[in-house]
Amino acid sequence: MLDDFMIRATLAGVGVACAAAPLGCFVVWRRMAYFGDATAHAAILGVALSLALQMSIFAGAMAVALVMALAVTHLAGRGYAMDTLLGVLAHSALAFGLVAVSFLSGIRIDLMAYLFGDILAVSRLDLMVIWGGAALVVALIVWRWSALLTSTLSEELAYASGLDPRREQLILTVSLAITVAVAIKVVGVLLIAAMLIIPAAAARGLARTPEAMAVIAAMIGAFAAIAGLRAAYLFDTPAGPSIVCVAAIVFAALNLIGWRSQRRA
Amino acid sequence: MSLINVKNLSVAYGANTVLHNVDLHLQPGEIVTIVGPNGSGKTSLLRAIIGATKPASGEITLKRGLKIGYVPQRLHIDQTLPITVERFMRLTDPVSQANCQAALETAGVPDLLKRQMSLLSGGQFQRVLLARALINGPDVLLLDEATQGLDQPGSAAFYRQIEAVRRDTGCAILMISHELHVVMSASDRVICLNGHVCCEGAPAVVASAPEYRALFGTGTGGALALYRHDHDHDHDHAHHHEAAE
């Protein structure tokens, strides 16, 4: 069954969606959307480094994403506004990454594959890495769920309950780096933030509790992956962007329905 | 034995020392209020007690197994985060629906269990925060300007609720407040803070203390004086202090 590239691609897409959706909820709740973007952009530098050093792309992308995320967390609140800091670091990392790739002579690199993903080329090994990473992220979030939620609502409340919000922030940062690394193959660095944010945002109107929002977001993400790949196959469109398009259409449709039912009420 | 024992506490942010040699003891069942101008270190003191800020020197001893209920100053729940009152009440402790309901009743808002937090009024929201703090039967409640954003009748009602909570549950209460007139009538003890403890004691004693008057003025103008008091006032006793800005 795994011999079929479409099935491998679908499984890869669903795996990334399952990790990205609950993490995306926290990204949305904590207003870290741009933070996710920055971490993802930095990953292209990781791709270039791993190609130069002939090591695993996954490890390189994750290492640089992690360094980036930790640097931003560390530097935040030291004189620059968060969005300025992210703008400087993210785009610098992207630019350095693109320049670094151009130095790599002898290796033919299809840059597009890393910018927009190459989900149809997912191998069995990739699939294992993607599902392993996704499972790790989901396990981390489930394990720390109530601590993460408390820290998100109020830092003081977390301290008073004996939690350390900085530790929870670190767990989110690490999860983000892992998700970015496994999602490169699926949607590429430029569209990872979309997989984090769009399903979570689409789920908002349907949920009454944070848990429900995370589960619904995962379902919307998985649906977008399946339907997007199907559409890409039928209309011969690029796979990663097609997945994001489906997610965006779901977001728009749910909002339209919500808006109409609100007007009737 | 006291529930909270703060000895010689100093807190600094970088080179800026906001608290100098502060002593504070809280006995079971007591209502103690901390008053002081903006930047006097009130919130830093409370943050140090819950462990959110590391002291530069001094010690904070909590009674073994002390259960703290904390009501934050302001809690912003992002519009994108759906959460019902019931779910919010269970944030850190797994509690039964009956316990949630009982805590909401103690806090004076019995009908809110299924409501969305983002749709509550300011007064309802603060009472839900109070209910959440009460849910695991705390030995002490810490309130950091819990009535900010409430109008005067609203905050008066809130403080009456606090007194009722103390009467019914016997828990001690340590709170920060800007509302001197309410505070003075509701507290057993008042601590007047301005980087250091200016004066403390029964409300009547503190209200007539020269240090307190230097900070807040006299009579009904007191509440207003809060916002235009003199930061570099001096006391007779030899405290060295740099006013925190």
pLDDT at B204: 79
pLDDT greater at residue B91 or residue B226: B91
pTM of model > 0.80: yes
User: Closest chain B residue to A207 measured between Cα atoms?
Assistant: B82
Q: How far is A59 from chain B (nearest CA, A)?
A: 33
Q: A155 vs B81: CB contact, 8 Å cut-off?
A: no
pLDDT at B245: 36
- Over 50: is that where the pLDDT of B218 sits? yes
pLDDT band at residue A246, thresholds of 50, 70 and 90? Answer: very high
Q: How far is A88 from chain B (nearest CA, A)?
A: 26
pLDDT band at residue B223, thresholds of 50, 70 and 90? Answer: very low
- Over 90: is that where the pLDDT of A13 sits? yes
Do the Cβ atoms of A123 and A13 come closer than 8 Å? Answer: no
User: Closest chain B residue to A200 measured between Cα atoms?
Assistant: B80
> B136 contacts in A (CB within 8 Å)?
none
pLDDT greater at residue A135 or residue A51: A135
pLDDT at B212: 79
- Over 90: is that where the pLDDT of A161 sits? no
Query: DSSP labels for chain A?
Result: -TTSHHHHHHHHHHHHHHHHHHHHHHHHHTT-HHHHHHHHHHHHHHHHHHHHTT--HHHHHHHHHHHHHHHHHHHTTSSS-HHHHHHHHHHHHHHHHHHHHHH--SS---HHHHHH--GGG--HHHHHHHHHHHHHHHHHHHHTHHHHHHHHH-HHHHHHTT--HHHHHHHHHHHHHHHHHHHHHHH-TTTHHHHHHHHHHHHHTT-SSHHHHHHHHHHHHHHHHHHHHHHHHHHT--HHHHHHHHHHHHHHHHHHHHHHHHHH-
pLDDT at A108: 62
State the residue for tokens 């608290």: B19
pLDDT at B232: 46
Q: B70 vs A157: CB contact, 8 Å cut-off?
A: yes
- Over 60: is that where the pLDDT of A109 sits? yes
pLDDT at A3: 67
- Over 90: is that where the pLDDT of B183 sits? no
Q: B75 vs A154: CB contact, 8 Å cut-off?
A: yes
Q: How many percent of chain B have pLDDT more than 70?
A: 87
Average pLDDT, stretch B208-228? 60
State how far the Cα of B175 lies from the Cα of B145, in Å rounded to an integer.
Answer: 7
- Over 90: is that where the pLDDT of B162 sits? no
> A33 contacts in B (CB within 8 Å)?
none
Least reliable range by pLDDT among A103-117, A201-215, B34-48, B143-157: A103-117
> B142 contacts in A (CB within 8 Å)?
160
Strand-pair partners of B191: B34, B200
pLDDT tens digits along B112-137: 999 999 889 888 898 899 999 988 88
pLDDT band at residue B230, thresholds of 50, 70 and 90? Answer: very low
pLDDT at A105: 67
pLDDT tens digits along A44-98: 888 888 888 888 888 898 899 889 888 887 887 677 777 788 888 888 888 888 8
Q: How far is B92 from chain A (nearest CA, A)?
A: 6
- When CB atoms are compared, the residue of A152, A204, A209 closest to B84 is A209
Q: A146 vs B52: CB contact, 8 Å cut-off?
A: no
